[in-house]
Amino acid sequence: MQALARAEALVAEVEVTLQQLGGKYEPGHSFLPALDQAEQETRQARQLDPKAEQSGYSVDCWLGRILAHKGLVLLFEFHQRGAALERVLQAAARCGEMPMIQYAMALVYEALGRRKEALEHARQAVDLADRTEQSSEYRRVLERLEAASGLVMQLRAFRGSWRVLAGLGVALLLMLFFAIEIEHPALWVLVLVLSGISFGYWKLKSR
């Protein structure tokens, strides 16, 4: 179908330019005109044949891919997070099994501070992607989100256990003082035991 073929060509043009820009939707390189035209062509093709396909993707998947790109343009070029979320949700409703759409959702949720959802969608993007479809970029985003999530969990664990750690710290200082003053071997052993308990408690809470 000619309309869908034209839409594919427009999307390919956008994605080639994105690769040249290092995957960045930078201000001054607006993709909206091409994406608007691609969306118009895709909707026209869908009206003529709702089951149309192009290059192995259904017309709904092409529409979803275009909407996901538009969501990222709205996010990074225009900083419209709410509108970006609306577009990527529309994209997922059309073709949630497309890795590029899951990747777009991960980026939008990350921008919204919803890290858990961002991480879930980044994992789905990596799981769905084959090795020829930008899987390295998806994996890079996943690794960044996993690293950030691990740091947040450790900070939360520290905030949740700081009173216990502070109490153990005071006890350690007191026992260390008396161990130095009295020079009793048993006190040194107790200091080491309490130090191990403090460290183990923090590691447990950080998981």
Mind spelling out the 3-state secondary structure of the chain? CHHHHHHHHHHHHHHHHHHHCCCCCCCCCCCHHHHHHHHHHHHHHHHHCCCCEECCEEHHHHHHHHHHHHHHHHHHCCCCHHHHHHHHHHHHHHHCCCHHHHHHHHHHHHHCCCHHHHHHHHHHHHHHCCCCCCHHHHHHHHHHHHHHHHHHHHHHHHHHHHHHHHHHHHHHHHHHHHHHHHCCHHHHHHHHHHHHHHHHHHHHHHC
Within-domain flag for 139: no
Mean residue pLDDT of the chain comes to 83
**Percent of the chain topping pLDDT 70:** 69
Question: pLDDT tens digits, residue range 122-153?
Answer: 999 999 987 555 678 899 999 999 998 775 45
The answer on 111 and 57 residing in a single domain is yes
Q: Which CATH number fits the domain that encloses residue 64?
A: 1.25.40.10
Domain ranges, residue 156? 151-206
122 occurs within a structural domain: yes
Residues 122 and 191 in one domain: no
| In a domain? residue 70 | yes
Domains in the chain: how many in total?
2
Establish if 140 belongs to a structural domain.
no
Note the pLDDT tens digit of each residue in 13-52: 999 988 888 888 876 667 999 999 999 999 999 999 999 9
Residues 99 and 50 in one domain: yes
Residue 183 lies in a domain: yes
Summarised one tens digit per residue, pLDDT across range 86-103 is: 999 999 999 999 999 999
